[in-house]
Chain A
Amino acid sequence: MSVTPDDVKRMAKLSRLGVEESELPALVNELNGILQHMEELQSANLSGLDGDLDHLATPLRSDDFHADVLHRSVGDFAPSMRNGFFLVPRLTTHDSEGATSVGGSNSE
């Protein structure tokens, strides 16, 4: 299996990473260089295992845990807030609707 430039673009989109076109060739080479070593895993003999991987799952606890009180308020480090809500740019599909993200506290 070999990574293509379209794969990298798709992965960048999924992971919300902005990747320039000029970066694609190097990233494709680097990822393929790493992934070629992963083919070794196909040679592993797993016959001795039960096949059940559930024991690897992170243990869960009941949903009755109370988080620690924060030592500083969220507003101290949030990029932009208004009335206790995090302010973000509007989706470009909603340009003409609702309030803007300009005018929140701590905004850049």
Chain B
Amino acid sequence: MSDLQAQAPLSVPDSLRNHTLSKAWQRFDSNDVSELNAFLCVARNSLHESSEGPLAGVPVAVKDNIATLELPTTCASKILEGYVSPFEATAVRKLREAGAVVIGKTNMDEFAMGSSTENSAFGPTLNPLDRERVPGGSSGGSAAAVASGVVRIALGSETGGSVRQPAAFCGIVGIKPTYGRVSRYGLVAYASSLDNVGVFGASVAEAAVGLQVISGYDERDSTSANTAVSSMLSSSHASSALPLKGLVIGKPREYFPDHLDQRISALCDRALEHMQNLGATVREVSLPSTPLAVPVYYIIAPAEASSNLSRYDGVRFGRRAVEHGLQQMYEHSRSAGFGREVTRRILLGTYVLSAGYYDAYYRRAQAVRSLITHEFNQVFSSGIDLLFTPTTPTTAFRLGEKTNSYDMYLSDIFTVTANLAGIPAMSQPIGLVDGLPVGGQFLAPKFAEPTMLGAAAALEHSLGSSSGSAI
């Protein structure tokens, strides 16, 4: 029995089922899409992997840090240019077994380090909604592939918000699952305790389908959760006038600081009002350690990255600089192969783990990470079912606008907490500011994806065209 057969029934929306390969290529070939640089490579001659399966013939895009057998996996880095993986990611295999067709690998920030897709070694991706702006990152290519209509679902990866933030910037849905819900086997490691495979969708229902297909236990991933996969989106409340009756939604005050753009804040409040009208109760809550999340993340993630990226040494695979001695080969392969941001994060990670600094930085950061997780647990144990916040503090910024590293890091201020705590979270469009989409974010207790997606679907239906969705 395949993984899919063992799971709960899957309800595939017509919008996804009817999005054929020919539609995908027609969209891809239109002049305005090819210029976006959303794809690093495409598989024009993809055949239907299977005429059966709930996603039979449905085109999907895959971020280029997720291993595929036929197309290269470069992580948008020169050090892996042309590298074709000898094994396939579990998430990709599950999509293929469901009948989906991988039509291409999408652009990203190099090794998933970035929030704009400007750190790609192969050029930035443009935001389909405003080509002078970034699509977000690091999964900007996948977000652009969905927002431009080439595909309806795409895979991305999340370490600090790299699915949710680009989803918000591009006006689509993006889901980060519970850590362990989706196998990381075949996801090129950046920060192993924070990495997740995530899903983009043109709508909540379509993203939910993608998530359900790729979810499930995998013995190849020691962090994989051995927890049954239930139906991610139930239709049982769809016809109810009060589909969110009984649901308690928390509004954490630390995600609505005084300096937050009031128009973004107002759109979040409007979304919360919609949910109240659908039967939910809204309560203000507090997550006091939220302001510490970005420093915590930018100690732990680079620390783990400095270890994970040590494998790129020119010995067994990837780019090798021809040098006289071994040490020089290591250093020149890596310095020629890695971009500026990757180099910076490896150096930072090595520093915070080094003797004399380990306790002050890394150990301290892990302790504060525990505090952040503890605060989420306390809130969710107090009768709160879900939290609702802005996804990002701004709309999509302009290409080249963020020249200071830490300014770029702050665009993840509302998203990194979910990765630190290992909880599921998602972004969906909730309106426009100056014509640019704004994302609203749900955060949920571990393995509460069905509750989260149910609320998101109800909100999406209630907002209708006022959500500012790109599709």
Binding site for B on A (CB under 8 A): 1, 3, 7-8, 10-12, 14-19, 27, 30-31, 33-35, 37-38, 40-42, 44, 46, 48-49, 51, 53, 55-56, 58-61, 65, 68, 70-74, 76-80, 86, 88-92, 108
Closest to A15 in B: B350
Are the CB atoms of A89 and B351 closer together than 8 Å?
A: no
Name A15's contact: one of B295, B316, B346, B366 (CB within 8 Å): B346
Per-residue interface assignment for chain B, residues 341 to 375, with 1 indicating a CB less than 8 Å from any chain A CB and 0 otherwise: 00110111011101001001101111111110010
Are the CB atoms of A91 and B310 closer together than 8 Å?
A: no
Name B351's contact: one of A7, A76, A90 (CB within 8 Å): A7
At the interface with chain A, which of B11-19, B286-294, B454-462?
A: B286-294
Name A11's contact: one of B326, B351, B405 (CB within 8 Å): B351
Tally of contact residues, B, Cβ under 8 A: 69
Residues of B within 8 A of A74 (CB): 86, 316
Residues of A within 8 A of B108 (CB): none
Asked whether any CB of chain A lies closer than 8 Å to the CB of B285, the reply is: no
Q: How far is the CA of A89 from the CA of B322 in the complex (A)?
A: 8
Q: How far is the CB of A45 from chain B (nearest CB, A)?
A: 8
Which among B192, B314, B328 has the highest number of chain A CB atoms within 10 Å?
Answer: B314
Are the CB atoms of A92 and B327 closer together than 8 Å?
A: yes
Closest to A8 in B: B347
Are the CB atoms of B220 and A16 closer together than 8 Å?
A: no
Q: How far is the CA of A10 from the CA of B209 in the complex (A)?
A: 48
Residues of B within 8 A of A42 (CB): 364
Asked whether any CB of chain A lies closer than 8 Å to the CB of B325, the reply is: yes
Binding site for A on B (CB under 8 A): 69, 83-84, 86-88, 192-193, 219-220, 222-223, 289, 291-292, 294-296, 298-299, 306, 310, 313-318, 320, 322-332, 334-335, 338, 343-344, 346-348, 350-352, 354, 357, 360-361, 363-371, 374, 404-406, 409
The main secondary structure of chain A at its interface with chain B is loop
Residues of B within 8 A of A17 (CB): 331, 334-335, 338, 343, 346-347
Q: How far is the CA of A48 from the CA of B14 in the complex (A)?
A: 50
Name A53's contact: one of B316, B317, B324, B370 (CB within 8 Å): B370
* Given A31-B344, A46-B371, A56-B370: A18 in contact with B363 (beta carbons within 8 A): no
Name B317's contact: one of A19, A77, A89 (CB within 8 Å): A77
Are the CB atoms of B192 and A58 closer together than 8 Å?
A: yes
Closest to B356 in A: A1
Q: How far is the CB of B298 from chain A (nearest CB, A)?
A: 6
Are the CB atoms of B326 and A88 closer together than 8 Å?
A: yes
Given A27-B344, A72-B84, 18 more pairs with CB closer than 8 A: A3-B351, A12-B347, A14-B354, A17-B343, A19-B335, A30-B405, A34-B348, A37-B295, A38-B295, A40-B291, A46-B367, A49-B374, A56-B366, A58-B193, A58-B222, A58-B223, A92-B328, A108-B322
Closest to B372 in A: A44
Closest to A68 in B: B87
Residues of B within 8 A of A31 (CB): 344, 347-348, 351
Q: How far is the CA of A99 from the CA of B198 in the complex (A)?
A: 47
Q: How far is the CA of A46 from the CA of B369 in the complex (A)?
A: 10
Name B324's contact: one of A19, A38, A68, A92 (CB within 8 Å): A92
Q: How far is the CB of B110 from chain A (nearest CB, A)?
A: 14
Q: How far is the CA of A65 from the CA of B335 in the complex (A)?
A: 35
Q: How far is the CA of A106 from the CA of B351 in the complex (A)?
A: 35
Closest to B317 in A: A77
Residues of A within 8 A of B331 (CB): 12, 16-18
Q: How far is the CA of A68 from the CA of B405 in the complex (A)?
A: 39
Closest to A14 in B: B350
